[in-house]
């Protein structure tokens, strides 16, 4: 059954093309603000998934946002309301819809500081690679890779001349920089493809021989290092292959 005309029209409005047109209209917005608009609005459109825009759908989305910190809720709600107001003022929507604005609470920042993971001294991992676990730990600390992503690597994807690593996951490719201290330790390795062909259980087992930290904890150290280096939340999400910045919000409060 074909969609009603008004629903087809709204469905056409709520897509990435319309989001980009809206973002381009925000002439005074910084690049980080524009990226925030894009990620927040794309997540909102994905949630609707072609459903009719209504106050009920907005209320459901607001319930989903309640798992986030108040500061994150406030930003996302503000961005979505600005977008909906833009569509209404341009005659694209017959009714003005909006999410309930959540007041920003400074207490959230204080609580976040108490709960925030600590950046550790990981210099012990930057020694000569002598066993599989040493390389696994380095791959996680340097590139934020999950064991499943390490399994998908090929040694030929490490371009030592241009100092980049190509990681292909889910049909998408991301290009990550290879730092000198990693290159010095890893470039002499000759049989890494043998490691990449092993099971995830094998990788976890070998990692335990080298590290007191789990793969998830090492990945969190990668994130904390990048935050300390002032890498933007959007660049970090891109490097990690994340579809949204939700899971990284807590590191940037």
Which pLDDT belongs to residue 69?
78
Mean per-residue pLDDT of the chain? 86
- Residues near 224 by Cβ (< 8 Å), separated by ≥ 6? 117, 118, 119, 251
Terminal Cα distance for the chain, rounded:
47
Which of the 8 DSSP states describes residue 158?
E
**pLDDT > 70 in the chain, percent:** 89
Structural element, H or E, at residue 133: helix 132-143
Express each pLDDT in 65-79 by its tens digit. Answer: 888 878 888 889 999
Which pLDDT belongs to residue 3?
36
Which of the 8 DSSP states describes residue 175?
E
Residue 238 has pLDDT above 60, yes or no: yes
- Residues near 109 by Cβ (< 8 Å), separated by ≥ 6? 71, 253
pTM for the full predicted model? 0.58
pLDDT interval class at 5 (50, 70, 90)? very low
- Residues near 129 by Cβ (< 8 Å), separated by ≥ 6? 135, 138, 185, 186, 189
Express each pLDDT in 196-223 by its tens digit. Answer: 999 989 999 999 999 999 999 999 999 9
pLDDT interval class at 4 (50, 70, 90)? very low
Q: Tokens representing 176?
A: 């990550």
Residues 25, 51 contacting (CB under 8 angstroms)? no
CA pair distance 238, 242, nearest whole angstrom: 6
Q: Tokens representing 242?
A: 């994340």
Express each pLDDT in 109-129 by its tens digit. Answer: 545 444 567 899 999 999 889
Residue 52 CA, chain-centre distance (Å), reads 28
Which pLDDT belongs to residue 104?
59
């Amino acid at each position: 059954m074909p969609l009603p005309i008004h629903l087809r029209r709204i469905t056409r409005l709520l897509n990435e093309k319309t989001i980009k047109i809206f973002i381009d209209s925000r002439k005074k917005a910084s690049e980080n603000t524009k990226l925030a608009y894009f990620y927040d609005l794309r997540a909102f459109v994905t949630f609707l998934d072609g459903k009719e825009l209504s106050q009920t759908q907005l209320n459901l989305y607001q319930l989903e946002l309640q798992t986030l910190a108040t500061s994150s809720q406030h930003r996302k709600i503000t961005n979505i309301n600005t977008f909906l107001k833009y569509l209404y003022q341009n005659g694209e929507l017959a009714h003005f819809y909006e999410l309930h604005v959540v007041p920003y609470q400074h207490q959230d920042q204080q609580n976040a500081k108490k709960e925030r993971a600590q950046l550790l001294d990981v210099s012990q991992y930057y020694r000569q690679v002598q066993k599989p676990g040493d390389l696994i730990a380095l791959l996680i600390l340097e590139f934020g890779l999950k064991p499943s992503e390490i399994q998908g690597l090929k040694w030929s994807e490490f371009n030592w001349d241009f100092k980049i690593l190509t990681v292909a996951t889910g049909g998408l490719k991301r290009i990550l920089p290879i730092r000198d201290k990693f290159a010095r330790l890893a470039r002499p390795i000759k049989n890494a493809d043998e490691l990449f062909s092993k099971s995830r259980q094998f990788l976890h087992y070998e990692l335990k021989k080298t590290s007191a930290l789990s793969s998830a904890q090492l990945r969190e150290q990668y994130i904390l290092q990048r935050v300390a280096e002032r890498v933007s939340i959007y660049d970090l999400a891109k490097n990690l292959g994340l579809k949204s910045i939700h899971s990284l919000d807590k590191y940037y409060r």
